[in-house]
Amino acid sequence: MKNTWRIGVAGLGTVGGGLVKFLTERPHFAPAGGTAVITAVSARDRSRQRDFDISGYEWFDDPVALASSPDVDIFVELIGGSEGPAKAAVETALRLGKPVVTANKALIAVHGRELAELAESVGAPLLFEAAVMGGTPAVKMLREAMVGDEVDAVAGILNGTCNYILTEMEQGSRPFAQVLAEAQRLGYAEADPTTDVGGFDAAHKISILAALAFGCAPHYAAAEVEGVDQVELLDIKLAGDLGYRIRLVASATRSADGVSVRVHPALAPIGHPLAETRGALNALFIEGRRIGRIFIQGPGAGSGPTAAAVAADISDVMTGARRPVFQAPAQSLQPFAKIDAAHNVGKAYLRLLVRDQPGVIAAVSETLAEVGVSIDSFLQKPVEDAGGVPIVLTTHATPEAAVLEAARRIAALPAVLAPPKMLRIARV
């Protein structure tokens, strides 16, 4: 058994810095008897001020050179991005048969299958616990604990920035732009927030979870993605009046027809664990055919939690744990058949802005009936400065195509002042 495992760390930002601090605080981190020691690092700027000491490590300007150094036993990639230096360095390490640990969800969601094939062809582990839900062990749960069952669905809150924004909008009665600006000031949101608020980060993560859950290849391009940037304060308030909170829900469901992977804002009933997941927390439901429902909740980001997840993967390498990168050997993985979203059946929330005149509600009800959508609840509430009368209704479970058709027809009614806003109600 090896006594010392020499770790090369590429990327010294939030996660990489966290790992350096972790191994400095726990110099005897020795899960398999041997000790993990950082020996070499790489980042963009060697002279950058960092709140940890890197003077004892060999420095590499080029992460690919670090990955190929004969003095590195485990390569840890914490740069980020699906292409460029992160991908090149991971490929280099794997080609040399070196174990790779990464937190890079974009890389695994987009190139997971080809990297898994490469890793398995050389017998090197490729581990990415920190890529989904930061320190909360979602990947291990699906890759290891759930292999005895068949998973039919995974769904949850996978982006802490979006959840923080939605929670702040709800609790402070403040609009999206104002809360986003504050989140950026406080460092909870990136200067360019598109990846988070556009739903793409959550889509990377749910694509990885879908692959692990259903034994298929990650297929990021097949994910349907809507972010929180179009969520209005008015809808948060009206959903609250109806007994719901709005959350960005990422879900992957399997049926006989294929797999549906989606990220979109959805209403969850107040009191339900998704509705009660607040601030930057993440949460996940896993539905196993035999085990039933499992719920986990915890931090999805941050230096300490993600570093602990990276350390857990390093520990797995050291203990010699060997599993396929996803649920089955990579060569046998198929990209899943994608279900047309319009066929998804679920309840929906429709918010209309109408003129204050008689007959409007009858016209809306008739239009819904024409396309076979039945109303579950109905709320008409004067709202100051709304520019009309907001009407909100929720539907019984209906194919999404019918709800969208109803929204299109309602938009054309003379008394309707703006296209209806449609939000899905989470299947919980």
Ligand X SMILES: NC(=O)c1ccc[n+]([C@@H]2O[C@H](COP(=O)([O-])OP(=O)(O)OC[C@H]3O[C@@H](n4cnc5c(N)ncnc54)[C@H](OP(=O)(O)O)[C@@H]3O)[C@@H](O)[C@H]2O)c1
Question: Which positions touch ligand X (CB under 6 A)?
Answer: 10-16, 42-45, 48, 63, 78-80, 85, 103-105, 130-131, 134, 301-302, 306
Q: Which residue is nearest to ligand X (CB)?
A: 13
Task: Please tell me the total number of residues recorded for the chain in this structure.
Answer: 428
Q: Minimum Å distance from CB 60 to ligand X?
A: 8
Measured from the CB atom, is 131 or 371 closer to ligand X? 131
Q: Report how far residue 176's alpha carbon sits from residue 161's, in angstroms, rounded to the nearest whole number.
A: 12
Q: Minimum Å distance from CB 250 to ligand X?
A: 15
> Could you count the other beta carbons within 10 Å of the beta carbon of residue 299?
19
Question: Is 350:403 a contact under the CB 8 Å cutoff?
Answer: yes
Q: How far is CA 198 from the centre of its chain?
A: 11
- Is 13 within any annotated ligand binding site? yes
Catalytic site includes residue 205:
yes
Instruction: Give the relative orientation of helices 360-370 and 400-411 as an angle to the nearest 10 degrees.
Output: 140
- In the set 2, 87, 98, 205, the catalytic residue is 205
- Is 10 within any annotated ligand binding site? yes
- Is 387 within any annotated ligand binding site? no
Tokens of 101: 């640990």
Helix (H) or strand (E) holding 105: helix 105-122
- Is 11 within any annotated ligand binding site? yes
| Closest to 161 (Cα-Cα) out of 302, 309, 304 | 302
Measured from the CB atom, is 160 or 265 closer to ligand X? 160
Q: Report how far residue 286's alpha carbon sits from residue 251's, in angstroms, rounded to the nearest whole number.
A: 10
Measured from the CB atom, is 308 or 426 closer to ligand X? 308
| Phi, psi angles (nearest 5°) of residue 36 | -95, 125
Measured from the CB atom, is 200 or 336 closer to ligand X? 200
Q: Minimum Å distance from CB 43 to ligand X?
A: 3
Q: Minimum Å distance from CB 247 to ligand X?
A: 19
Measured from the CB atom, is 9 or 151 closer to ligand X? 9
Q: Minimum Å distance from CB 310 to ligand X?
A: 9
- Is 112 within any annotated ligand binding site? no
| Phi, psi angles (nearest 5°) of residue 339 | -80, 135
- Is 319 within any annotated ligand binding site? no
> Could you count the other beta carbons within 10 Å of the beta carbon of residue 359?
9
Q: Report how far residue 52's alpha carbon sits from residue 56's, in angstroms, rounded to the nearest whole number.
A: 11
- Tell me, what amino acid is at 58? E
Annotated binding residues for NADP(+) = 10-17
Annotated binding residues for L-homoserine = 190
Annotated binding residues = 10-17, 105, 190
Annotated binding residues for NADPH = 105
**Catalytic (active-site) positions:** 205
